Amino acid sequence: MKTIMLVCNAGMSTSMLVTKMQKAAESKGFEANIFAVPVSEVDQEMAKNNVDVLLIGPQVRFMLKEYKEKFEPNTKVTDINMVDYGTMNGEKVLESALALINI
């Protein structure tokens, strides 16, 4: 099972995207632990979870470089496509996360 963590300012809008990503994973028969956290909880969640992919919401895209330096190569880090985020396209966001870990 792979773990995908999404990050945004407060974790609210990203939680909706998580639900859509979970449904997309289920429809593909793929088991994944997908969850969202606010920026303030990233470090503690990274310390207690073996996160395979860290996806950064558009609102906090400015954190991308810092997170890449801090967590790669153990965790793949990227930002969420703004259009996919805006349309809450869970399937596309899941596909981009899985592509990072070659699944």
- Residue 14, amino acid: T
Tell me which of 8, 32, 37, 54 is the catalytic residue: 8
Q: Is 48 a catalytic residue?
A: no
Q: Report the C-alpha gap between 82 and 87 in whole angstroms.
A: 9
Q: In 3D, which of 98, 96, 90, 101 has the Cα closest to residue 22?
A: 90
Q: Catalytic residue positions?
A: 8
